[in-house]
Amino acid sequence: MKNWEKDRNKIIGLGEFSAHKSYYPQLQLKLEELELAYKNSENILSSMPDAVIFHDSSGNFLYMNKQAGIMFGIHEQETTLYSYSHLIDDFQSSDLILHFKKLTPGKTNSFQCDIHSINSDEQTPVEISSNSIMWQGKKAIVSVVRDFTLHKQFEDSIIKAKQKAEENDQLKSAFLANMSHEIRTPMNGIIGFVDLLKEPDLTEEKHYTYLEILTKSCDRLLSTINDIIEFSKIESGQTHVNLSPQNLEEILVQQWSFFYSEASKKGNRLVLAPSKSDEIVLVDRLKLESIVSNLIKNAIKFTSEGAISISYKIEKPYIKFCIKDTGIGIAKERQEAIFKRFVQANIEITRGHEGSGLGLSICKAYAEMMGGNIWVESEENKGSSFYFTIAYQPVPKAL
């Protein structure tokens, strides 16, 4: 567009030496109108938020507005030295040129690609909308280059949300199937063995065996129902932290004593590691007991004739707990998923190892509510170490 000044002076010179000088004032007026129209169009292009480029069908630049210069790091006087090939990789550049060759006048076509400035290799997703025009008496193309980053991010977020929804739907289906199994199995046991207990000629040994199975079925059903109720409370925001002064050693000893017999029945050694601290701290006892008992139950469930250890230590500003076992372990690709709702380490194993699949998601929610986190370090067929932290809160002296 800088050629405008030269062309203007040529036309004025012709007017001054023309034999028809009576037309000179009209010519001067028309030139002023054209000059004003040019300046207006240049101001409009400069004020546009998108990059605008005039170029030929091979992608060689003829003119670009201020925004294009900023986007691509090209100074105005250097515009004609560059083309799209300097800003786009060879593969995409070839496709873009082919796109330009196919343009038809009066019809805008768009092309999406990644583009970078001449000063950086950082790629920016853009949409290039192009149309054929006449430029200084020759065929040319005007293209609007629009940063597509936000649109791309929005598209990606929609795709991820869709995938997440589909994943949740699959998990819920698996969860509901598992819940059906977890509720019906103990219920069938309860109903069946209640009927058997009505038999008049039962031996004392069978009577005791049936009562033991009945008790286990009731405990399993109650555990499943408690998990569902507790998870519903967490999801609806009805669960709150209730802090009180507690002796951590005492809580862990109690948990160790409670599960010792159950662990021994599977040939496991349940060990409580001695602590270097017997400090009284502020914790939510019920939530802490829930996390520890869930992790010990899981360790017993997936460990046979092995060892399970319980330990903790104060690492300010946290208290760190560990439940370690020598069980079947967890595949590396499943170690994050197990803390998500409706998920177990392996959906296929749930028939052999009962459980709602909510325990670890409840543990995670409780740990986070108490200012900490939970994670696992595990290797298949070698065992797992479940760690969780809660915020260290000493008892104020006034208490």
Exposure class string for 227-263: b at 16+ Cβ within 10 A, else e: beebbeebeeeebeeeeeebebbebbeebbeebeeeb
Residue 387 has, within 13 A of its CA and on its CB side, a CA count of 13
Distance in angstroms (rounded) separating the CA atoms of residues 24 and 32: 12
What pLDDT does residue 349 have? 41
Instruction: Give yes or no for residue 17 having a pLDDT over 50.
Output: no
CB 344 within 8 A of CB 355: yes
pLDDT exceeds cutoff 80 at 173: no
53 three-state secondary structure: strand
Write down the pLDDT at residue 355. Answer: 55
pLDDT at 15: 47
**What integer pLDDT is reported at residue 45 of this predicted model?**
67
- Give mean pLDDT, residues 89-112: 86
Residue 317, preceding bond cis, omega within 30 degrees?
Answer: yes
CA–CA distance, 24 with 173 (Å, rounded to integer): 86
Closest listed residue to residue 59, CA positions, set 156, 142, 154, 122:
142
pLDDT of residue 392: 95
Give the model's pLDDT for residue 67. Answer: 87
Decide which of 299 and 164 is more confident: 299
* CA 142 to mean position of chain CA atoms: 39
The reported pTM is: 0.54
* Residue 38 main-chain phi, psi, to 5 deg: -65, -45
pLDDT tens, residue by residue, 339-379:
876 555 444 444 445 555 688 989 999 999 999 999 999 99
User: What is the average per-residue pLDDT within 224-241?
Assistant: 84
Mean per-residue pLDDT over the chain, rounded: 83
- CB-neighbour burial class of residue 200 (10 A; exposed 0-12, middle 13-18, buried 19+): exposed
User: Highest mean pLDDT: which of 5-19, 232-246, 279-293?
Assistant: 279-293
